[in-house]
Chains A and B, each alone.
Chain A
Amino acid sequence: MSDTTGTVPGAVRQAEDTRPDMLNWTCPVPLRDQPRIVMGHGGGGALSAELVEQLFTPAFGGPAPEALTDSAALELGGAKLAFSTDSFVVRPLFFPGGSIGDLAVNGTVNDLAMSGARPAYLSCGFILEEGTGTDVVGRIAAAMGAAARAAGVEVVTGDTKVVEAGHGDGVYINTSGIGLIPPGVDLRPGRVVPGDVVLVSGAIGVHGVAIMSVREGLEFGVEILSDCAPLGGLVEAMLAVTPDLHALRDPTRGGLAASLNEIAAASGTGIVVRERAVPVPDAVTNACAVLGLDPMYVANEGKLVAFVPPAHADAVLAAMRAHPLGAEAAVIGEVTDAHPGMVVARTALGGTRVVDLPLGEQLPRIC
């Protein structure tokens, strides 16, 4: 159709009346099923969950709830272990404040730490693309070594595979890790109850903006460094106050919003967040304003969200602030029995809005 033929239903133009028929708006057909894997299946949102629940879990057997968490808590020989695995496919391989090597260590270390475990050992599987410079691989390996030392873990086993040129993105890394969960520590979404205080360990959105700035060649006036860091020490300091923390999450893909929604859904509670209490650096606010993104949905790599019984909240907050990785920690909200499964933000102006699961990667808005 050309723009002038007017074949859209409801817009048939007659000589005596050229007005569009506003009451006969018509709409697109929905897209429902996904017969193929799309990027969203790895996005950490609803499609990822469906893939695990409907495809992997029936095939593997075993408990679905465990499969849906970042790490599993296991009894083995009288010890309580946390076991976790994660794959890293980030572009670019090096970014302000870190590299895929830092992420590969800290990502798995942090998943273990979120179960309250003291991370101990990692495995490392490299999938290298033919033609990748050995100097590049060397820099990544050096970054992994330094990150492991900083996190207090050892890389004890590994594997390397090479795929043909064009079949990889330079370097993919998988790391798995184990750690010991101290006695008396039981961190899981099911323990979150109304009245719990929600704390965040610092400013949000930094890693995602750092990645976007290099990936898209965007300049935001100041260089923004990724917050990539190992959180084991911070968790230890919090558990030293009380082992009775209810749940921890590191808000990576999907940002703070995804973590809060995950906990609300898994615990059957509601969460209220005071928008103005959430620490967002000016640089992140500005970058998100330019791109039409919401900082609540932007990835972090060195932050955690804690769900703490109110009696311990002040002491835990003080312990967090005394740690270098928690200096900007803040209470951002609380758990409620209202609106179960839903996260609600109180806006700066006094209104409320639902903070939904991300629709996937946030897309820069056209205007």
Chain B
Amino acid sequence: MKYIEEFQDPDLAERLLDDIRATVTRPWALMEVCGGQTHTIIRHGIDQLLPEEVELIHGPGCPVCVTPLEVIDKALEIASRPDVIFCSFGDMLRVPGTGRDLFQVRGTGGDVRVVYSPLDALRVAQQNPDRQVVFFGIGFETTAPPNAMTVYQARKLGIRNFSLLVSHVRVPPAIEAIMQSPDCRVQAFLAAGHVCSVMGMDEYPGLAERFGVPIVVTGFEPLDILEGVRRTVRQLERGEHTVDNAYPRAVRPEGNPAARAMLDDVFEVTDRAWRGIGVIPDSGWRLSSRYRDYDAEHRFAVDGITTREPAACRSGEVLQGLLKPHECEAFGTTCTPRSPLGATMVSSEGACAAYYLYRRLELNTPARPAASLEGSPVV
């Protein structure tokens, strides 16, 4: 695989930084939408290297962080059943629901398995015909197509003991919600490149025009981020607000038509709750009526579970750039990755967790060893 070292080249990075420094004349606030971008920015210290006029606001694009508490509770309920094998991507196992997480369900006898692809979960279903196999289908437009494909395959192969617990979300409605907030400080967006590699770019010109913000489709390696920032700052300084593709090696304007067709067949757009934000209209997907048989919520009758989330943290302000993670009084004291008060501290892609893990040096936060929540019997 190429494109790792090449896209972390310090000399090229310095050239891009020089260009940004030479271009910027006044303060600008840019939001990187995706948690993967936030992770790269903080892990590589990109925010420290940018001129102080360029502020990066960390957006809500972490699928783990935004999965609602009640969906986690539904997952916990289903995974606790003795007839169920519950399959999930790894990082969802650590997310706290009400009082416990999937690791603890596994610790008390639940059959919870980490898989690397939803198709692995389908294989588990084929290998265990007498058990119900449920896959936790969360994430943005990036993870939705393979999950759709898995349900499509399940039906095609006549596999009846497989179902999907769905909590998929879409980026453009979230951008719209952020821009409609009266306190919004965001002046431009680094759009999530992997989302656009699936969906293309046609959802964005309307947003750029309506809200007068540049939207630059950006990748995830350090040089990708710097190039995205460079193009965004250039537009801002010129008073432009167009949609630009700074990630052409992965993103075609039309996206991936096959993936989009699969999404259109298996899913339908619906309102979705985002953890911490609330309901954003048309911001998610659920299984379409043709595939409703494969909806784990209905199959296990957990659609009645509702959870009111206690107000305990200020991640809403963090995600609008009104508050830096370390400016929250709970940061690093009562709120750490070990005991997260808020969604943004849950996943390593959450803004607060990224600051906690990588930025304590400047923030003078005492080192508090994070807990090992899961052990590896590798050694």
Contact = CB atoms under 8 A, between A and B. Distances in A.
Given A3-B272, A42-B375, A285-B4, A352 B107 contact: no
Select the residue from A1, A28, A350 with max chain B CB neighbours within 10 A.
A28
Contact of B44 (A4, A7, A348, A356): A348
Interface in B5-42: 5, 8, 10, 13-14, 34-36, 42
B42 A353 contact: yes
Contacts of B42: 353
B4 A28 contact: no
Contacts, number: 331
A33 to B, nearest CB: 10
Interface residues of chain A: helix, strand, loop or mixed (majority): loop
B68 interface: yes
A9 B369 contact: no
A367 B194 contact: yes
B70 interface: yes
Interface stretch (B139-147, B149-157, B204-212): B139-147
A32 B378 contact: no
Interface residues of B, number: 117
Given A41-B375, A46-B338, A354 B277 contact: no
B200 interface: no
Interface residues on A, range: 35 or more
B199 to A, nearest CB: 14
Nearest to B305: A1
B327 interface: no
Contacts of B273: 1, 3, 6, 8, 11
A339 interface: yes
B280 interface: yes
B279 A24 contact: no
Interface string B271-283: 1111111111100
Interface string A101-114: 00100010000000
Contacts of A367: 34-36, 63, 139-140, 142-143, 194
Interface of B: 1, 4-5, 8, 10, 13-14, 34-36, 42-49, 63-64, 68-70, 72, 89-101, 103-104, 106-108, 114, 116, 138-140, 142-143, 177-178, 180-181, 183, 194, 222, 270-281, 284, 286, 303, 305-317, 319-320, 334-335, 337-343, 346-349, 356-361, 367, 369-379
17 contacts: A9-B308, A20-B278, A26-B312, A27-B276, A27-B311, A27-B313, A28-B343, A31-B99, A36-B104, A39-B373, A43-B374, A45-B369, A103-B379, A289-B1, A356-B369, A359-B337, A366-B89
